Structure 1
Amino acid sequence: MLVQIWKFAISCWFFAACSIVTAQSKNDIASARASEFFQNYCVDCHNQEEAMSGIRVDHVSETGSFLEFRKNWKRVNEVLRFGAMPPEDAEQPTANETKQTQLWVANRINSIDCDLISDPGRVTIRRLNRLEYNNTIRDLFGIDFRPADDFPSDDVGEGFDNIGDVLSLPPLLLEKYLTAAEQVSERIVYVPGSETANKVLIDKKDISIVGGGRLSGTSIDFHSNGTVTLLVSIETTGSYEFSVDVGAQQAGPELAKMELALGGKNVFKQSVSAGRDDPRKYTVKMELSVGQHKIALSFVNDFYNPKHPDPSQRDRNIYFSNVTLVGPTSVAVDELSSFNKLIHDNLPLESSNVSNEAAAVLDMIIHRVFRRELSPKELEPYKTLVQLVVNKGESFQRGIQVAVNAILVSPRFIFRLEGGEGAGSVKGIRDLDDFELASRLSYFIWCSTPDDELLNLAREGTLSNQKVLRAQLSRMLSDPRVQGLTAGFATQWLNLRNLNEVVPDPNVYEFTDELRDSMQRETELFFEHVLQENLPVFDFINGKYTFVNQTLAAHYGLQVVVPASDSDQYVRVSLAGIPRSGILTHASILTLTSNPNRTAPVKRGKWIMQNILGVRPPDPPADVPVIEVAGKALPNSSFREQLNLHRENAVCASCHNQMDPLGFGFENFDGIGKYRIKDGEFPVDSSGILPTGEKFDGPMELVDILTSRGAAFARTLTERMLVFALGRGLNYYDECAVDKIMKQLKKDEYRFQTIISEIVLSDPFLKRRGEEK
C-alpha cells in the first residue's frame, strides 16, 4: 500500500513539474517569437538612436523594460491592435503574427503584481484654478460674483487645468488675488457709511442687446431704436444709486430720448440734450433686494433722413457709457445677510472686547475658508488685525472686512494643502486625514469647497468610514453643485471649451453665437443626464436621445414643440429612426472637429481615437505637405479622393489608416453638424474599413462597431476621470487601481456612477505619499 501511495505521489509531482516546464516553455517560445517579430519588422525605425514617433522596441528583452517604459509599450500595444504598423511600404507580417505579438505585449503590460506595488503617487500641492476659485467664493459666501474671470488663464496638463505640476503662480495672478480678496470682502461685509462703487462691467457675459445697439469699447452705441439689458447681482438689500453717462447725436424735430427700466417696469424717461463728446450723468435711486436684477436702458425715438441737406441732421443716435451702481447707502438690520447680522450682534461695547468679539465673528467662516479646524493660536493674527483697524478709529465692521481680506489671500485658502509626513507609515505612505479627504472629494465632484456637512463629518473623524463616504458621495451627486463636474471635467474631456475658438466661415455656414451656446449646452445636458440617471457609459456612444432647444431642433431638422414663452428651454427628444446617436453626432463635437470651411475627417478620427478609444496618434511629421496641396492636384475630385492622394505618402499612411475611416464615417454631417447626403456636387461616401477589418456604411454602422469596443471606451473614461480626480497624470502603479475599477464597473453593467465611486474608494484617492526625508 505504501508503495502505491509513493508511486502516486511521484506521478503527481512529475505531471506538475511537466506542466510548469510546459508553461515556462510556452512563455519562452512566445517571448522569442515576439523578439523576432520586432527584430524583423520594427527595430530599424524604433531603436535607441532612431525612435520614430517616440517609440522604441529594441529593449524588448531587457528585464524591467515593461515596467520602466510602460507608456512606450502601451503605445506599441495600441499600434499593433489597430494594425497601424508596419507601414504599407515595409515588409508585412501575417495577421496572425501581429495578433500573437499584440497579445504577448498586452500580457506583459498587465503582468504587474499589485501586491508588491503600493504607491498612491505624488500629488503636487496646487492652487485653486479659476473655476474652483469662483465656485468656492459662491459656496462660501452665497454671492453671485466671479472674481477669477479676471485671472490669467490656467495652465493645462494631461488635458486638464487642475494638474498640480503645471499650475503656475505668475506675478500678475498674485496681484489679482489681492484685488479679488478686496472685492469679495467689500461684498460680504457691510460697512455703514462706506458706499462701495460697483462698476457694472459692459461685457458680453453681463449684457444683452436688442435692436440697433452695439458694444464700442466700454460704451454702448445705438444707431436705431433698441435696448441694452444689464444683469446685476446684489448681495445686500438696500438703497442704491444707478448712474449712466448719456450723450446724443441730434437730428430731426425733437431731442433724443432714453428710458430706464428695472425688472421690466419703466422708472425713468429723459430727453437727452448733451452731445456725444460732452455727455451728461443721470442718476436714479433704486431699492434693490438680494439677488439678480435686470436694468434696461433704451433708445426710443430714432430718426433717420438720408436726404437731409445737412449731413449732421440726417441721423439721430444715442450713446451710453460709464454705467455704475453705488451702494447700498442704507440697510435695515433685518435685511442684513446672516454673516452681517452676526457682525451686528457682536459689535463690541467697549474697546477691550474687540478681540473677543472678532474671534466670535471670524470663527464662523475661517475654518470653512481654510477647509479644516484652526487652533486659537492660528486665529490670533486675524483678531489682531481687527484690533489694529479699530485702534486707528475705524469701525469694527471695517476691521472684520480687513481680516476677511487677509484670510482670502492666505496660502491656506488659495492652495489645496495636504500637510503631514509619512514618518512611521509603511514605505512613507499614509491615509489622508478626514479634512484632506473632504477637500479631495468636494473639488472632484463639485469643483468647489467642502460644505458644512462634509466638514462636520471630518471634524468627527467619520468621513473616511467607507459606509459614510458612500452615503456622502450619493448626496453630493444629487446636489445641484454637481454641475461643477460638468464644467470642470466634461468640458475638458470632450474638448468643449475649444468650441468658443471655432469660427465657421460665414460664406459657407450659417452660424451664430446662440447656435454655438445651444450646441454646447446639449452635450453638457447629455453628460449630466447619464450621470444623474446612472446610465451605462455606452450611452455616450449609442444613446438614441438628446436634448434640444428650439434653435438646435431647427438646426437638426427635428419637429420639437418648445413652449413659446421659453424658446430656450431644452427638452429630451428621441432619436429613433434618425441617423444620430450619442455625443459623436452632437453638433458641438462635429463643429469643433471641423475646419472653418469644410469637414475635417482626420480631426474627427483623431478625436474619436483619443477620447473614445484611448489611443493617442503621434503628431504628423513637420515636412509632410498639407492636404490642400492634393486639392490643387485633383481640382475636380471629392475631398475624400484628395485625402487619399495625401495618404499615398508612406509616412502619413500608417496614422491615416487609423484615423481617416473613423472620420469619414461621420461625413454625412457637415462642418457645423447638419445632416447631408451630398458634399457640393459629390455624393457623400461615409463607408469605410477599419484596420482591424470591420466594414461599415454610414455613421450608425460605425457607432455599432464603436459600441462593441465599449470596454475600451469605459477604460479611457475611467483613466481620464482618475487623472482629473487626482490632479496628476497616471503612472504604471496606477494600473492596479484602474484594473480594480474596471472589474467592478463590468459587474455593475458599466454604470457611470460606479466609475466615480470606485475612484473615491481607490488607494490613489484615499492615500498619499509621505514627504521624502
Structure 2
Amino acid sequence: MKYSQAKYFLALIAFTFSPPEIHLYAKEPLQYQEDIRPKLVTFCGDCHSPEDSEHDVKFLQAKNVAEMSQMRSIWNSVAEQLRNRTMPPPDETQPSEAERLGVAEWIDQTLQQTACEQGPFAGSITSRRLNRTEYTNTIRDLLGVRTEAAVRFPVDGSGGEGFDNNGETLFLPPILMERYLEAAEEILDVALPSPSIKITIPANQLLPPDKNSDSATRILEPKKSLRLVPRIYSAGQHFVRVRAQPVEKSTTLTFKVDGIVVERFAIDGKPKFEGDFPVNYDTSIQLSRGFHTLEIRCTGEENASVTFLHFKQNDKELNQDQLRVYEKLTGTSPGKIPENPRSVAIQKLKAFISQAFRRPAVSTEVDKFMSLYDRAAKRDDPHVEALKLAFKGVLVSSPFLFRVESLPESQSLEPISDFELASRLSYFLWGSLPDDELFELSAERHLNEDTILKEQVDRMLNDSRADYFIDEFVGQWLGTRDIGGRVAPDTSKFKGEFTTELLLGFREEPNQLFAYLLQNNHSLMELITADYVIVNKRLRKHYGFDEEEKSDKQDWPWSPNPQLSKDGPFEKVAVTNGQRGGVLGMGGVHLLTSYPNRTSPVLRGGWILETLLGIRVPNPPPDIPELSKSKKGKMTIREQLAMHRDHPSCSACHNLIDPPGFALDHFDVLGRWQEEQEGKPIDATATFPSGETVDGLEGLKTIMVQRKPEFYRQLTRKMLGFALGRSLDDRDDCVINQITEDILNNDDSLRNLIKSVVLSTPFRNRQLSPDEASNATE
C-alpha cells in the first residue's frame, strides 16, 4: 500500500503526541515488504542488495522483520545513516525528508519491538577509569581526605547516554598519570602527616665538614658557606633559626634554599640579651617533599661566628576523625612506632589494598607493595613514611584507578561476582567504593540475593553519600549541571537581573525535587505534574511567590551547595496559579533551552523531545533557506517559524518540535513569567500533530501525562545507562521495556525504578559481545 510523503511521516509524528490508546501504524501499518523495503531498494539497492558483489553490507537480503532482527547492528546503522543524511551518497538519488525520517523511525521502532526475541542480554562492561568525581569520593572514603586534587585532572568527556562515567570515554592520557602521582603524594601527606622534624645541628656538623676543629662553633669567612641537606617528608611551612655573631665587626649572612635567596641577616654584634651571647636570626620557608639544600653564606666583608642551625617543621594537629584514620592505616599513633613495624605494615597494607581494589587482596599484590615499604625502611625512613610509599603505589595502580571486572568466557550470560556487584552498586548510588557492610555481604556471597539487594538500595539511598547520585544523574540527564558554566544568560542584556546565586539555585532546584520524590516515595510523574515547587528564598522571590505563602519547612535529605546557605533552606511551596511545578516550570530549564539573549521554541521543543521523551531530533537538512533579515525584524519568532514550516524540508521536523516549545512561551530566558513580549500579548497555544491544541504550561503537562509510557521509558533508559556506565544499544531495549512496563503497571516511585535497574539482567550479569568473542577465539 502506498502513501503520500505527508501521510507517511505524519503517521509517525502523530504517534508522539497522541493519546496512549492510539498505536503506531494502527490505521495504516507500514509493512516491511510492501512499504519499507521497496523504498530502500530504490535508494540503496545499487550497493546493498544481495546481488551486489562489490560491497559487503547487504542489509537488503533481509526479506522480513525476523531476518532484520538477525542483523540488528547493521540495521541500526542504516537508521542512523538515514537520519544523519550520510546515506545515500550525495551523487545518488535522495529520498525526501519525510521518506528519510519515516524509514529511520520505522527501523528504530521495529528493532525495539523485537528486542526480546534475541533472549536475555547483559552486554560487556569496559574496564573504566574512575572519573574525577568518583576519584574524589573514593579518596574521601578510603583515606578520610576531602581533596580538590581532581580539579587538576583533564575534564571527563561524556558518552553513551550522556554521562561522564561512560567507560568508552574514560581513557588514560599520559598527563593524567603525572597528575595521579602528584595527587597521591599530596593526599597521603594530608591523611598521614609525617613525623615532625625538629633538629638542631651544631655548626661543626654542617657541610663541608671541618676536620681541624673540635669546637661546635664555626668561623665563616666571606664568600664561604655552610650547608644542610635535610629530607622533607611532607610539604609545608618550616621554621629556621641561625645562631651567629660577628667575630670583630658587623657582617652579613645570606640564607638560601636550593640556591635561591630567602633572607639576609645583618650580623651587627648587638645581642638581644645582655652579655656576650650570640643572636638568633629566624625565618620561615615553604618546602616541598624531597631533599633540599639549606645554605648559610657569608656575603659581608667580615667573618661571622656560627653556633648552630635549628630546623623545625610546623606541627600539624589532627582532629579525632583524622586520628582515627591515622591509627587505622598505620597501626599506631602519630610520632610512635609499633613494636614490630614490618608485621604491622603487612597487616595494614593488606587491608588497604582490599578496600582500594574493592575486593580481597591476594598475596602477590601484598608482596609487590611491601617491597616499596622495605625499600623505604632500608634507607631508614620512618615507619609512616615507608607505609606512605607503599600506599602511594596502590593509589597509582590500575586496580585502584580502574574499575576492573573479570572477562566473561562466552556470549552466554555469566553472573558477576558479589564483590563486582558491590562495586557496581556503590559507584551507581554513591560514586565511591563499597563500605564495610557491602564488603561483608559480598564475602558471605549474600549480596546477589533479591531481598538483600533491595534492602541495600534502601540503606544506601538513605545515606548522605547518595547526594552523588542525585547531583550527577539529574544534572547530566537534564543538562542543568552546565548552568553557570557553559550555560549562562547574556550579561549585557540581563545585567543586574541575575546573580551567581540565582544560577546556582537554578542548578539546585531539580536536584531538590528529585530528592523529595526519593525521600517520600512519590510517583515519577511528579517530575512533570508537581503542583508545588521546592525553592529557597532567592528562587521564591524570582518566581514571584508571596513571602507569606505557606511552605513546608521539613528537613530535606539533600544538602544544597554551601554557596546557597545565605538564601535560606529549600522549602516546598504550593503552586495555585498553574505557572510553575515540575521540571518544565523551572527557571534553570528555561535558561538551558534558550539562547543567551532570547528564548527559542525550537531549543525548548527539541529538549523536551530528546531529554524527556527520548525522540531523536535530526539535524536540519543542508538546503534550509534563510529567512529574509528585513522580515525577521518585523515578525515574531512564531511567525518566522510558520514560514519555516512552509518549506517541505523543514515542515516534517518543525511540526514535531515547535508545539511543545510554543507552550513554554510565557517564560523568558531567566524563567520569569511574562504576559507580554515587546508590547504584544504572549500566545502560548500549541497545536500538536494529533490535532490537539493546548495553552501554556498546564496544557503541555496534560500532553506529557498522555505520553507517560515514553517518559518512563526514557527515564529508565537514562538510569540504566548511568548505572552501567556504558553505551546502550538496541539489545538493551528488552530490559528497558520490561522495567518500563513494571513501573507503569505497579509501583512507579523513583525507589522502585532504581531497584528495578539494580535487579536487572545487565546490572547483575555480563557476557562477551560478538566482536569480543571473535577476538577471543583468534
Same structural fold, with TM-score higher than 0.5 when normalized by the shorter chain:
yes
Give the corresponding residue for 2:442.
458
Instruction: Tell me how far 1:717 sits from its aligned partner.
Output: 0.4
> Which of 639-648 and 58-67 deviates more?
58-67
In structure 2, the residue matched to 1:429 is: 413
State how far apart, in whole Å, the 1-side matches of 2:336 and 2:102 are.
83
Matched residue, 2:172: 169
- What is the match of residue 601 of structure 1? 601
Determine which of 721, 724, 728 is the counterpart of 2:722. Answer: 724
1:340 aligns with 2:353: no
Structure 2: tracts of 5 or more residues without a match: 1-24, 49-57, 85-94, 199-235, 240-281, 286-311, 554-563
Counterpart in 1 of 2:662? 664
Counterpart residue identity of residue 449, structure 2: N
Aligned equivalent of 1:482, options 437, 441, 466: 466
Q: Distance in 1 between matches of 2:478 and 2:75?
A: 25
The structural deviation recorded for 1:595 is 0.5
1:473 and 2:471 are equivalent in the alignment: no
What is the alpha-carbon distance in structure 1 between the residues aligned to residue 568 and residue 440 of structure 2? Answer: 40
Could you list the per-position Cα deviations for residues 130-181 of structure 1 after superposition, in whole angstroms to 9, with x for gaps in the alignment? 1111111112222221321211011211211111122221111111111111
Q: How does 1:228-307 map to 2 (within 5 A)?
A: none
- How much does 1:58 deviate? 7.0
Cα distance in 2 for residues equivalent to 1:330 and 1:347: 10
Residues 381-435 of structure 1 deviation map (CA, whole Å, 9 limit, x = unaligned) = 2222122112112211111111111110010100000025427xxx443110011
- In 2: Cα distance, 1:333 partner to 1:134 partner: 21
Which residue in the other structure is 2:386 paired with?
399
SS of residue matched to 1:501:
coil
Deviation at 1:121, TM superposition (A): 0.8
Which residue identity lines up with residue 658 of structure 1 in the other structure? Answer: L
1:369: which partner in 2?
356
Q: Which residue of 1 aligns with 2:711?
A: 713
The one of 117, 123, 126 equivalent to 2:125 is 123
Alignment partner for residue 190 of structure 1, among 193, 196, 199?
Answer: 193
Matches of 1:182 and 1:356 in 2, distance apart? Answer: 24
| Alignment-mate amino acid for residue 475 of structure 1 | R
Question: Does residue 571 of the first structure (1) align with residue 571 of the second (2)?
Answer: yes
- Residues 108 and 92 (structure 1), Cα distance of their counterparts in 2 relative to 1, 3 Å cut: closer
Contact 2:591 2:669 in 1 (8 A): yes
Q: Does the residue aligned with 1:546 lie in a helix, a strand or coil? A: strand
Distance 1:376 1:669 in 2: 63
Q: Following TM superposition, by how much is the alpha carbon of 1:335 offset from its aligned partner in structure 2, in angstroms?
A: 8.2
| RMSD (Å) for aligned C-alpha atoms | 3.9
2:689 corresponds to 1:691 = yes
CA offset digits 1:704-749 (Å, max 9, x no partner)? 1111111110000001111111111222322221122123212324
For the Cα contact (< 8 Å) 1:155–1:166, is it kept in 2? yes
- Out of 408, 413, 417, the position equivalent to 2:395 is 408
Show the counterpart of 2:216.
none
Q: Deviation string for 1:571-615 (max 9, x for gaps)?
A: 111112231231011011110110111001111011000111110
The structure number with the bigger radius of gyration is 2
- Note the alpha carbon deviations across 1:168-222, whole angstroms, 9 max, x for none: 2111111111111111111111211259xxxxxxxxxxxxxxxxxxxxxxxxxxx
Query: Is 1:439 paired with 2:423?
Result: yes
CA, structure 1 residues 631+703, in 2 after alignment: closer, same or farther (shift >3 Å)? farther
2: distance between equivalents of 1:567 and 1:524?
16
* Superposition deviation, residue 463 in structure 1: 0.9
Superposition map of 1:536-615 within 5 A: 536-560=523-547, 566-615=566-615
* Cα distance between partner residues in 1 of 2:369 and 2:743: 48
Structure 2 counterpart of 1:264: none
- CA distances 1:664-723 after superposition (whole Å, capped 9, x unpaired): 110100011100011112221111111122211222111111111111100000011111
How far apart are 1:348 and its partner, in Å?
12
Q: Give the SS at the match of 1:572.
A: strand
**Greater RCO, CA 8 A, separation 6+:** 2
Kept after mapping to 1: 8 A contact 2:136/2:150? yes
How far apart, CA to CA, are the structure 1 residues paired with 2:106 and 2:586? 35
Could you tell me whether the CA contact under 8 Å between 2:337 and 2:383 is conserved in 1?
no
Q: Distance in 2 between matches of 1:762 and 1:345?
A: 45
Whether contact under 8 Å (1:347, 1:396) holds in the other structure is: no
| Matched letter for residue 193 of structure 1 | S
Residues paired across the two proteins, number: 602
Secondary structure of 2:704's counterpart equals helix
Question: Does the Cα contact within 8 Å between 1:688 and 1:695 map onto a contact in 2?
Answer: yes
Greater mean alpha carbon deviation, residues 404-413 or residues 328-337: 328-337
Do the aligned partners of 1:117 and 1:733 also contact (CA within 8 Å) in 2? no
Structure 1 residue aligned with 2:511:
524
CA distance in 1: counterparts of 2:717 and 2:708, whole angstroms: 14
Within the alignment, does 1:503 sit opposite 2:501 as a pair? no
**Paired residues of 2:188 and 2:388 also in contact (CA < 8 A):** yes
Q: Is the 8 A contact 1:34 1:104 kept in 2?
A: no
Deviation of 1:345 after TM superposition, in Å, equals 2.5
SS for the counterpart of 2:603 is helix
2:595 counterpart letter in structure 1 = N
Q: Deviations over 1:325-360 (max 9, x none)?
A: x97615489785213224262899999943212112
* Residues 46 and 57 in structure 1, CA contact (< 8 A), matched pair in contact too: no
Q: Give the SS at the match of 2:573.
A: strand
Residues 138 and 144, structure 1, Cα contact 8 Å, conserved in 2: yes
Does structure 2 retain, via aligned residues, the 8 Å contact 1:490–1:524?
yes
Match of 2:342 in 1: 355
The residue matched to 1:520 in structure 2 has which SS?
helix
Is the CA contact 1:723–1:729 (under 8 Å) kept in the aligned structure 2? yes
Tell me which residue corresponds to 1:390: 377
- Matched residue SS, 1:676: coil
Q: 2:691, 2:466 → 1: CA distance?
A: 41
Measure the CA separation in 1 of the matches of 2:337 and 2:44: 80
Which shows bigger deviation, 667-676 or 371-380? 371-380
Tell me whether 689-698 or 39-48 shows the greater mean CA deviation.
Answer: 39-48
Match of residue 83 from structure 1: none
TM-score (norm: length of structure 2): 0.70
* Distance of 1:330 and 1:348 partners within structure 2: 12
Counterpart contact for 1:605–1:659, Cα < 8 Å? yes
Amino acid aligned to 1:732: D
Query: Do the aligned partners of 1:546 and 1:575 also contact (CA within 8 Å) in 2?
Result: yes
Task: State the distance in 2 between where 1:112 and 1:175 align.
Answer: 44
2:760 aligned to which of 750, 755, 762: 762
* Paired AA for residue 567 in structure 2: S
Q: CA deviation at 1:527?
A: 1.5
Task: Confirm or deny: 8 A CA contact 2:578 2:698 kept in the other structure.
Answer: no
Residues 1:521 and 1:46: Cα distance change in structure 2 (over 3 Å): farther
For 1:94-173, what aligned pairs fall within 5 Å after superposition? Answer: 106=109, 109-114=112-117, 116-158=118-160, 159-173=162-176
| SS of residue paired to 2:666 | coil
Answer whether contact 1:542 1:703 (CA < 8 A) is retained.
Answer: yes
- Flag the 1:750–1:150 CA change in 2: closer, same or farther, 3 A: same
User: How far apart in 2 are the matches of 1:726 and 1:557?
Assistant: 41
- Residues 537-593 of structure 1 show CA distances to partners (whole Å, capped at 9, x for unaligned) of 111111111111121111111113599995332111111223123101101111011
What is the percentage of aligned positions where both structures have the same residue?
31
* Aligned mates of 1:338, 1:475 — CA distance in 2: 24
Whole-Å separation in 2 of the counterparts to 1:482 and 1:376 = 34
Relative distance call for 1:396 and 1:708 in structure 2 (3 A) is same
